[in-house]
Chain A
Amino acid sequence: MMITSWNRYPLVSHTNVLDAVHRHESLPITSGPLLAFGSGRSYGDVCLNEGGVLLRTRRMDRFIAFDESTGVLVCESGVLLADILDLVVPQGWFLPVTPGTRFVTVGGAIANDVHGKNHHIQGNFGHHVRKFELLRSDGERKLCCPDKNIDWFRATIGGLGLTGLITWVELQLLPIINPFMITESKRFHSLDDFWELSAEAESQWPYTVAWIDCTATGKRQGRGILMLGQHAPAQADLPTWKERPRRFPVDPPFSLVNTLSVRAFNLLYYNKPIKKGLALTHYKPYFYPLDGMLEWNRMYGRKGFFQYQCVLPPEASQEGIRDLLNIIANSGSGSFLAVLKTFGSKISQGMLSFPRPGATLALDFPNQGKRTLRLLNELDAVVREAGGALYPAKDARMPSELFRSAYPLWEQFSTFIDPQFSSSFWRRVKE
């Protein structure tokens, strides 16, 4: 069966697609390699298994226990973050860390050790996982937590689904009082302004992220909008808010994202009116602006797009981000929205976790074949030079040597891989 992930590239053929439905049942016996597939919201081939079997986990979506006094939630790995929020927000709890879409499974969030706008305070998703069960193809069930099977815990968090099937998970949630956020947006006019503003904001705000205009050059390079947030307090005067999801209506044969539309969009976005001072925003549009447009990935046409997310260490961040933006601006192939954020110093739990101290930049590029690949190779050179890393969850093409140098524990990690498990990504970077 032909399957792609969210960015619609690559389109990969699988010999079979099976469903994991009951957590107490054993893994299917298959002739080819096996890989768990959650919501398919990663970009690239980390959730794909060409020529092998995918084990979909979305049917394994039961809650097991929730203690509303302590905020400890136990659930199966196929539960969506959206389902968790729907359950716990009315009871005064929130996900301690969330990526930019809530339509990912808990298992996927662990396997990719996802991060959010609060990395500088809360670290990664894995930092809030108290325990989980790992089902191996030999039938063994390993209970993994920081004081039991710690090696397996560290291999599986950020382990890209290769160590076995995560069947259930225990999470510590974050207390909140209502579903709203206090937010503030600040426009900045250059990269230098960003570094200054961002450092100051991080000492005061739990959530920070910047959208930048990657088409701007010269003195305006790196201009953008810094978006700050914190959970609203008890006596906030809450506005009414109703979700009105829209769906990207057409499946165009070609990408609607091109030099012209990107330039126009970035110009508009940078200049959009910004409310002065503080605002109250519901958590959904604040954390998940793109979830409001279902199937937005169609915008890039049938060939799909590449997402490129890198992290550069602190000492190389300023120069490195500048170089990356220069290359992107010169290529004329811009991204709608580039996201820039600095990671905090919390050490990741996982052997293959992506977040590490420094600055992270994320961009989307429509797939224009060789031209795009050439651009991404140029960006790689900057990342390599800076001693940075690319994010496997958002990768469809990083060279093997870049992966190995950025993830020095990969050899140690590989001893934890389940003999029956593999992925297109893993075979690609291991070669």
Chain B
Amino acid sequence: MKRFIIFGATSAIACACARLWVAQGHSLFLVGRDRAKLENQLADLRVRASPGQYLDSMSANLNDLEQHESIFSRAEAVLGGVDVVFIAHGTLPDQKACELSVGQTMDEIQTNALSVISLLTLAANRFEAQGSGVIAAISSVAGDRGRQSNYVYGAAKGMVTIFLQGLRNRLAKKGVAVVSIKPGFVDTPMTVQFDKKGLLWVQPETIAQGIVKAVEQRRNAVYLPGVWRWIMLVIRHIPEAIFKRLSL
């Protein structure tokens, strides 16, 4: 049995992961913004769990970096230690609105990159000291190359991707695994405004299975579903002279 902290626990992907981890017998500490959603989720997980599993939650605005230290302390206190940190929170910005507003662009970078980096730093220092643990964070295929249609989100996720690479390099010798998760198009409330007919759209439950496996196997970086590894390989290698003319 392992002890998990899940940040952004009420997101569709994290919800699906939490159910799988509970079914495996693990204990979870959920962190999310909306108290009512958290409580509903916690009740659901409690029905699915055994009496021996510990489940608790805490509502927090993760953009308030000051709180991060106390969230970790509380989770450690109630779980009696932490083995896995999973960071799943994020927002999908309105790219056009961001282009017109520096404030909004900065807010999105704050939510999708800076708050994640703060949590990663705290998790890394703790796990480095204890000499064990898995840190997993959801980045995105959008972080692999900037595109006109969502480069604010892409830049934030790209920062997370690079940061995770660095952490992985730093912690590899310390018994700590760092897992970068790069999903493609997922049918969640975050993407409600898109038409989801295409073959590349998948359900959050599918992504969750991939995440649970990647955490278990202490993988480095996974594309979910795996086909995105090849799609992004192509996208990353298109010469800039051509890429800038494309409308992607």
Contacts and interface: CB of A to CB of B under 8 A. Distances in A.
Interface stretch (A18-26, A314-322, A406-414): A18-26
* Residue of B40, B189, B192, B195 ringed by the most chain A CB atoms within 10 A: B40
B41 A62 contact: yes
Question: Which interface class (under 10, 10 to 19, 20 to 34, 35 or more) fits B?
Answer: 10 to 19
Contacts of A197: none
Contact of B47 (A18, A19, A21, A63): A63
Contacts of A23: 40
A64 B189 contact: no
Contacts of A59: 12, 189
A65 B43 contact: yes
A87 B195 CA distance: 33
A62 B43 CA distance: 8
Which secondary structure dominates where chain B touches chain A? helix
B37 interface: yes
Contact of A87 (B36, B41, B43, B48): B48
Contacts of B37: 22
Contacts of A21: 189
B36 A64 contact: no
Contact of A19 (B36, B41, B189): B189
B44 interface: yes
A260 B44 CA distance: 50
Nearest to A58: B203
Interface residues of A, number: 14
Contact of A66 (B47, B189, B192): B47
B192 A62 contact: no
Interface string B175-189: 000000000000001
A23 B36 CA distance: 10
Interface string B40-55: 1101100110000000
A62 B40 contact: yes
Contacts of A87: 47-48
Nearest to A23: B40
B192 A19 contact: yes
A62 B37 CA distance: 11
Contact of B44 (A18, A24, A63): A63
Interface string A57-82: 00100111110000000000000000
Contacts of A65: 43, 47
Interface string B134-165: 00000000000000000000000000000000
B120 to A, nearest CB: 28
Contacts of B189: 19, 21, 59
Nearest to B195: A1
A414 to B, nearest CB: 32
A66 B50 CA distance: 12
Interface of B: 12, 36-37, 40-41, 43-44, 47-48, 189, 192, 195
8 smallest beta-carbon distances between A and B, as pairs: A62-B44, A63-B47, A63-B44, A66-B47, A24-B36, A64-B43, A62-B40, A21-B189
15 contacts: A1-B195, A19-B189, A21-B189, A22-B37, A22-B40, A59-B189, A62-B40, A62-B41, A62-B43, A62-B44, A63-B47, A64-B40, A64-B44, A65-B47, A87-B47
Given A1-B195, A62-B43, 18 more contacts: A22-B37, A22-B40, A23-B40, A24-B36, A24-B40, A59-B12, A62-B40, A62-B44, A63-B43, A63-B47, A63-B48, A64-B40, A64-B43, A64-B44, A64-B47, A65-B47, A66-B47, A87-B47
